[in-house]
Amino acid sequence: MNQDPHYIKGMLERLKDLDDLTRTMQEKFEGEGNRNKYAWMVLPFLKAFYVKKGTTDDVVQRIMNIVSSPIVIAAFGALGYLSLITTIEGILAQPYLYIGIGIALYLYSVIVIFFRQLDFKDELFDLHAFKAIHPSLYQSFQSFSGTAPFSFNSLHESIRTILEREQQTGIEAYTELKAVYEKLEKLTEERDLLIKDIEFYEANLSNLLSVYDHSLKLVQASIDNGISKDILYLYCDYSLFEKTGDMLVLKEGHHTYDIPKEISLEDAEKQNWAIIKACLAQKEKDLFQIDIRNHQVSLAIKMNVMQTVYVYSFHFPEREMDRLIDRIMRDELHSLLYHCILLYNKEKEG
């Protein structure tokens, strides 16, 4: 089915136009059903007079006005006999001339009137003439008449009713669907928030468990007096520097063989290093510093422990960033780290 709106619109408009034709057909079928089947062949000549009736009436009236005067009547009375005798004599003497004139008049009327008998909209339309000339069309149009005559207008209205119903159903379905989608959207948003909450609390719980686990190790080590550098290992490789004058001195580390043992805080080439930036930080928000070199991340934290300045640096590959940064940048971990370094410092102090 062609669903182009212009096509449908055109079809509906054409249906309305076609109804003029069907109405005419119905009238003709009803009005001319009882007429003689062959009258249309001889009727053109008479119809020619019928068509010209108005004009004929005028002419006749004028003639009647003239001929009704007494003098003309008297003159016609005298001439009437003479002309009648002359005319009869003329016809008898030259019959073919009059027959010819009669045939010519008939043919003229046929030429003028005949085709008009086939035109629905013409007042001279003749159903039998139409049937004789266009039998197939006649048969087709027969269905337009009868007790329940076909009407393009009723077809037009029927189609409109169907379309109106479809349009109404469409709007109702759309409104219902829209409400469902809006509700669904809200539920989805709420669900996504809940999933995020669960993920957040999962991560929290996981980190707290790690901190708790490590805290137990610290307590155990403290009880055993067996503090070792192992307590400084948290999630990944690390280095622990102590600030001594203008130098950072490497105290402990895990798999940090390429890190210098001593670094000058004034070393111009290393000013971008996280440990230098963290160590020189004055504001609390600057205590955490990060740098990335050769896809390796260094995340340094400055801590003051018992009047000693320490800089602890986490070292991990860049690809681990998303996973570890969330675990490292947590208050509970910083508190744990502080206590680790505190214990380490106490052990070192003896």
* Residue 250, SS3 per DSSP: strand
Tell me how far, at minimum, the Cβ of 327 lies from other proteins, in Å.
Answer: 14
Tell me how far, at minimum, the Cβ of 122 lies from other proteins, in Å.
Answer: 30
Applying CB under 8 A, among 73, 97, 205, 292 the residue interacting with other proteins is: 205
Q: Give the separation between CA 28 and CA 42, rounded to whole angstroms.
A: 19
Tell me how far, at minimum, the Cβ of 184 lies from other proteins, in Å.
Answer: 7
Query: For strand 262-264 and strand 288-293, is the pairing parallel, antiparallel, or unpaired?
Result: unpaired
* Region from 134-142, 177-185, 241-249, 307-315 binding other proteins, contact rule CB under 8 A: 177-185
Would you tell me how many other CB atoms lie within 10 Å of the CB of residue 281?
Answer: 17
Tell me how far CA of residue 179 lies from CA of 117, 168, 187, in angstroms: 64, 17, 12
Applying CB under 8 A, among 38, 49, 98, 174 the residue interacting with other proteins is: 174
Applying CB under 8 A, among 62, 97, 212, 323 the residue interacting with other proteins is: 212
Q: Is 191 in the site for other proteins (CB under 8 A)?
A: yes
Q: Is 200 in the site for other proteins (CB under 8 A)?
A: no
Scan residues 124-163 and list those touching other proteins (CB under 8 A): 156, 160, 163
Tell me which long-range contacts 8-12 makes (C-beta under 8 A, separation of at least 24): 12/156, 12/159, 12/160
Q: Is 41 in the site for other proteins (CB under 8 A)?
A: no
Q: Is 193 in the site for other proteins (CB under 8 A)?
A: no
Q: Which is nearer to other proteins, 191 or 261 (CB)?
A: 191
* Region from 31-39, 117-125, 167-175, 337-345 binding other proteins, contact rule CB under 8 A: 167-175
The answer to whether 211 and 232 have CB atoms below 8 angstroms apart is no
Helix or strand holding residue 136 (H, E): helix 135-142
Tell me how far, at minimum, the Cβ of 116 lies from other proteins, in Å.
Answer: 34
Q: 337: exposed, middle or buried (C-beta count within 10 Å: 0-12, 13-18, 19+)?
A: buried
From first CA to last CA, the distance across the chain in angstroms is 94
Q: Give the separation between CA 192 and CA 179, rounded to whole angstroms.
A: 20
Q: What is the DSSP code string of 10-71?
A: HHHHHHHHHHHHHHHHHHHHHHSTTS-TTHHHHHHHHHHHHHTHHHHHHHHHHHHHHHTSHH
Applying CB under 8 A, among 80, 100, 135, 170 the residue interacting with other proteins is: 170
Scan residues 11-40 and list those touching other proteins (CB under 8 A): 12-13
Tell me how far, at minimum, the Cβ of 21 lies from other proteins, in Å.
Answer: 19
Q: Which is nearer to other proteins, 38 or 174 (CB)?
A: 174
Would you tell me how many other CB atoms lie within 10 Å of the CB of residue 35?
Answer: 13
**Interface residues with other proteins (CB under 8 A)?**
5, 8-9, 12-13, 156, 160, 163-164, 166-167, 170-171, 173-174, 177-178, 180-181, 184, 191, 195, 198-199, 202, 205-206, 209, 212-213, 216
